[in-house]
Amino acid sequence: MLSQALLVASVAIACYAVYQFSNTLGLNGNYYNHRPGICRRVAGVEHGSEDIQVMSDGKAFITSGYGTSSILKYLKKHNVKGRILLFDFKDPSAGAVELEMQTGQGFDENKFLPHGLSVLEDKERGEHLVYVISHPHGLPDLVEKFRFSPLSKQLIHLRSIPLGGNLGITNDLALVAEDQFYITIMAVFHFLPLLAIVETFLPLRTGSVFFYNGTEMQKIIPSLNNPNGVFLSPDHSLLYVNSFLDKTLQVYRLQPLTNSAELLQTVQLFGRGDNVQLTQAGDALLIGSHPKFLLFLEHYLALTPADVNSPSSVVRLPLDEEYLVREEDMTEMFYDHGDLISGSSCAAIFDGQMLIGSVMDSLVHCELFVQAKR
Amino acid sequence: MDVFSGSFKHYPGECKKVKGARHGSEDMTWTHDGLVFITTGLGIPDVEKHLLATGTHGEIQLFNFKDPGAGVINLKITHRKEFDIVKMRPHGITLLEDRVKGEHILYVINHLETEDRELVEKFRFSPSTRQLTHLKTIELDSSFFFNNIVAFADDQFYITNFAYMPYKGVLYHALINLFPIKLGSLHFYNGTKSVAVTESHATPNGVALSPDKRFVYMAASMEQTLYVYKTYKSNAQLSLVQKIYLGVKGDNLNLTPQGDALLLAVHPVFYKMVFHLLWALSPECISPSSVLRIPLGSDGLAVESDITELFYDYGELISGSSVAAAYNNQLLIGSVANSLVHCQA
């Protein structure tokens, strides 16, 4: 009797585990293309546009040329260069322009493999401070700090911020003030290439969010499952973090005095959320997401990712007056099987247009049909 | 059963419930000048109880895309004594459009379950009085359960035989919807009798005809597949020219007025639809709704790579979407037993 009961219980647990696992891989569900307007690829962007941030004057900074030690063969074969692009929403036909990087000592452009970015906007003179996470091959992750020169349209490299060698693989950052930011540690298994991928589907809770206060890194939120994009509410009171493995967006209230954060909300998404941005109207979050993770892994690890389609999705999460997500009103603004854009990681909206970025594929520009949804 | 499926809601524009719709809007048929004829009052368990309790019955309603704010009106039917309107439980509807005088001929599938009869009722619409005149009743083989219909010519139509159903109880319906057993097929009624013109399928549901009548489109729900057949002058056996696996349970099909695409309403999370069909009036038993747009090429075949989803709702605005019709940047979406929704793009 007891052995039978145990057998039934183990089968039930095994079935549940299989269900959870297939859920994290995104194996189930049939989805269809739909777009919020007329969408086209932006010319000249083939190796990703992983993170985007738009300034209030419509100029958007985009990181391109994402790479890590795990995908060296792909980087070499296609001669992928780490770049920062500028797209002007007020002049979309000009496309995405590569910004020349004026380097000081110590900054090696050839080792620059950018990931998440965060910009401190300078509304007076346009000399924005652009911070970008870089994964130089064979070295610990760094945050590269640049100043944008609006006259010369160049990025002047100011300094490389070291994060401490053994933290792991970083993903995205969110600036509070100059040289002060929150940063996600996505994976700790960085000593062997590709091992970090294990942390994307085994719920080991090895990820975390740190705060860099100008001199040192402090752990603010521990035990997260593969945290990805991170973003601050406009009043800097709340922190939004995407848990890649859990397919959730976590909303925390920051407690700066105790260097901790209180979890307020866990928003369940259908796909794996990547980066988070705020709409121009400030009333909603936009998340680039990967509806089918197994297909994304195939795309990510392919020698020529452009040949492997991975579905893309942009989700809009409306916020209430306290910057919490109104879950019942979440909608999907864009879904593509991967033909137009594979592996969407972020989206930004400005003046009736949307820009959608991807980890290693194209950059898409949409003219939105419904102008009111900014 | 779609236990693991889920999607985010999204709409093609501003969508609102239409006034006057009460017992569902299972099927629609449209005219080129914006009129839509809708069947309401399909006798699924909860709805049947409500119809009997309130002394109402199935109706045919009219919606005008040129005046969407007016909502839907019930069309008065003038008929002989033999036509028992109290027992009318309409399902699929189609029309032969009269572009000259607007006196459209409507064919409506009517399930007389109390007498175990499967009927197709023929009506003429009078645009001046906005009334329907019942012309005749066509009796079909009651060992089948018919679902949807599309008119080919006067008293000739394609009709989907949902399943061979000698016993029409709820349990048998549930069985058909759980296991994809091939008990149905597409029939053609030639004026005197109806004959199967395709091989067997599991739950053939929606059916549509291309404007040039060369192609017949059919959605087989439990097979999650769209079939495209070519017609021949003799309208005997159809030949299969295309088969598209959709991955979702499709319901009714309608062409767009321009003839450039099919609109297919689907049930994306089917186990929720099963509960909704059993307990349609319970607020907890809602089922997500979705409308797919399947473009058609100039060769009459569906362009599989360009299928898009126009509408997805969790079931709060509309539950169990069964049909959609489009006109000039507007979309009208009907459901088996829930609301009728109008979207303005």
Q: Which helix (H) or strand (E) holds B274?
A: helix B270-278
User: Does a structural domain hold residue A3?
Assistant: no
CATH architecture of B14-344: 6 Propeller (2.120)
Catalytic residue among B10, B23, B57, B91: B91
Reading the block at residue B33, the tokens are 């000048």
Q: What is the pLDDT of residues B90-130, one digit of tens each?
A: 999 999 999 999 999 999 999 987 888 999 999 999 999 99
Residue of higher predicted confidence among A9 and B36: B36
Reading the block at residue B90, the tokens are 């309409």
What values do phi and psi take at A13, rounded to 5?
-65, -40
User: Does a structural domain hold residue A23?
Assistant: no
- Flag if A369 and B248 touch (Cβ within 8 Å): no
- Flag if B309 and A335 touch (Cβ within 8 Å): yes
What values do phi and psi take at A306, rounded to 5?
-60, -20
Average pLDDT of chain A, as a whole number: 92
Q: What is the pLDDT of residues B237-285, one digit of tens each?
A: 799 999 999 999 999 999 999 999 999 999 999 989 989 998 988 989 9
Query: Treating both helix axes as pointing N-terminal to C-terminal, what angle do A2-25 and A293-301 enclose, rounded to 10 degrees?
Result: 60
Which of chain A's residues have a Cβ under 8 Å away from the Cβ of B13?
369-370
Q: Do the Cβ atoms of A355 and A363 come closer than 8 Å? A: yes
Q: Does A255 touch chain B (CB under 8 A)?
A: no
User: Does a structural domain hold residue A22?
Assistant: no
Q: Which of B13, B247, B308 sits opposite A33 (nearest CB)?
A: B308
Task: Determine the pLDDT at residue A373.
Answer: 46
Identity of residue B93:
I
- Looking at residue B282, what DSSP letter applies? -
Q: ipTM of the assembly?
A: 0.75
Whether A115 is catalytic is yes
Q: B278 exposed, middle or buried (CB, 10 Å; 0-12, 13-18, 19+)?
A: middle
Q: Can you tell me the distance from the alpha carbon of A358 to that of A50, in angstroms, rounded to the nearest whole number?
A: 5
Distance from the B11 Cα atom to the nearest Cα atom in chain A, whole angstroms: 8
In A245-275, which positions are buried (b, 16+ CB within 10 angstroms) versus exposed (e)? bbbbbbbbbbeeeeeebeeeeebebbbbbbb
Percentage of chain A lying above the pLDDT 70 cut: 98
Q: Does A335 touch chain B (CB under 8 A)?
A: yes
Least confident of A49-58, A68-77, A151-160: A68-77
How much is the average pLDDT of A35-63?
96
**Chain A stretch 144-203, residues whose beta carbon is closer than 8 A to a beta carbon of chain B:** none
Q: Which helix (H) or strand (E) holds B240?
A: strand B239-245
3-state class (DSSP) for residue B171:
helix
Domain count across chain A = 1
Q: Which of A32, A270, A331 sits opposite B309 (nearest CB)?
A: A32
Q: Can you tell me the distance from the alpha carbon of B92 to that of B254, in angstroms, rounded to the nearest whole number?
A: 11
Q: Which of B4, B8, B226 to mutate to test the interface with A (most CBs of A within 10 A)?
A: B8
Q: Is the pLDDT of residue B209 over 70?
A: yes
Q: What is the pLDDT of residues A130-173, one digit of tens each?
A: 999 999 988 899 999 999 999 999 999 999 999 887 889 999 99
- Flag if B8 and A35 touch (Cβ within 8 Å): no
- Flag if A270 and B6 touch (Cβ within 8 Å): yes
Q: Can you tell me the distance from the alpha carbon of A171 to that of A186, in angstroms, rounded to the nearest whole number?
A: 6
Strands A248-255 and A238-243, how do they pair? antiparallel
Average pLDDT of chain B, as a whole number: 92
Please give the model's pTM, rounded to 2 decimal places.
Answer: 0.85
Task: Determine the pLDDT at residue B175.
Answer: 77
Q: Is the pLDDT of residue A25 over 80?
A: no
Q: Do the Cβ atoms of B101 and B127 come closer than 8 Å? A: yes
Q: Is the dihedral of CA A29, A32, A38, A43 positive or negative?
A: positive
Task: Determine the pLDDT at residue A311.
Answer: 96
Q: Does A270 touch chain B (CB under 8 A)?
A: yes
Q: Is the pLDDT of residue B236 over 70?
A: no
Q: Does B225 touch chain A (CB under 8 A)?
A: no
Percentage of chain B lying above the pLDDT 70 cut: 98
Task: Determine the pLDDT at residue A273.
Answer: 96
- Looking at residue B52, what DSSP letter applies? H
User: Does a structural domain hold residue A65?
Assistant: yes
Q: Can you tell me the distance from the alpha carbon of B227 to that of B217, in angstroms, rounded to the nearest whole number?
A: 6
For chain B, the structural domain boundaries read: 14-344
Q: What would the 3-class secondary structure string for chain A be?
A: CHHHHHHHHHHHHHHHHHHHHHHHHCCCCCCCEECCEEEEECCCCCCCCCCEEECCCCEEEEEECCCCHHHHHHHHHCCCCCEEEEEECCCHHHCEEECEEECCCCCCHHHCCEEEEEEECCCCCCCCEEEEEECCCCCCCEEEEEEEECCCCEEEEEEEEECCCCCCEEEEEEEEECCEEEEEEEECCCCCCCHHHHHHCCCCCCEEEEEECCCCEEEEEEEECCEEEEEECCCCCEEEEEECCCCEEEEEEEECCCCEEEEEEEEECCCEEEEEEECCCCCEEEEEEECCHHHHHHHHHCCCHHHCCCCEEEEEEEECCCCCECHHHCEEEEEECCCCCCCEEEEEEECCEEEEEECCCCCEEEEECCCCCC
Q: Do the Cβ atoms of B162 and B203 come closer than 8 Å? A: yes
How much is the average pLDDT of B125-143?
95
**Chain B stretch 152-171, residues whose beta carbon is closer than 8 A to a beta carbon of chain A:** none
What is the domain-level CATH number for residue A47? 2.120.10.30
Range of the domain at A180: 37-368
What values do phi and psi take at A261, rounded to 5?
-145, 145
pLDDT tier for residue A374 given thresholds of 50, 70 and 90: very low
Closest residue by Cα to residue B60 from B26, B31, B83: B26
